[in-house]
Amino acid sequence: MTQVQIQLPQHLQEDIDFLKTQLTSLKLHFEPKQPKIYLSRAEVSKMLNVSYVTLNKWNKSGKLKAVGIGGRVLYRQEDIDNAIVEL
């Protein structure tokens, strides 16, 4: 059996080595992005033990921002977690 050996130009070999180190670094530090969790007004109201009126007041004052789609009012779990402060 005959072996064929290919000699790569130096700059191409350097590029390949650079890409290898970048991929290795990515593998070591990769953290998958967590999907955003959305909760309905009913779920948030029950979770925080507050009324819809209170949720509306918090939305207007900017304490807890609501988002919506198709007429539904939703809250991001991340926003709820950030709105809760230590006393």
pLDDT of residue 7 exceeding 70: yes
Match 């939703």 to its residue by tokens. 74
Percent of the chain predicted with pLDDT > 90:
63
Give the chain's mean pLDDT. Answer: 91
Q: What's the pLDDT score for residue 22?
A: 94
**C-alpha pair distances (Å), 27 with each of 9, 17, 24, 34, 85:** 27, 15, 5, 17, 35
The residue type at 9: P
Q: Could you give phi then psi for residue 63, rounded to 5 degrees?
A: -70, -40
Take residue 17 and report the two structure tokens written for it.
């080595």
Judge if pTM exceeds 0.75. no
**11 — pLDDT class (breaks 50, 70, 90):** confident
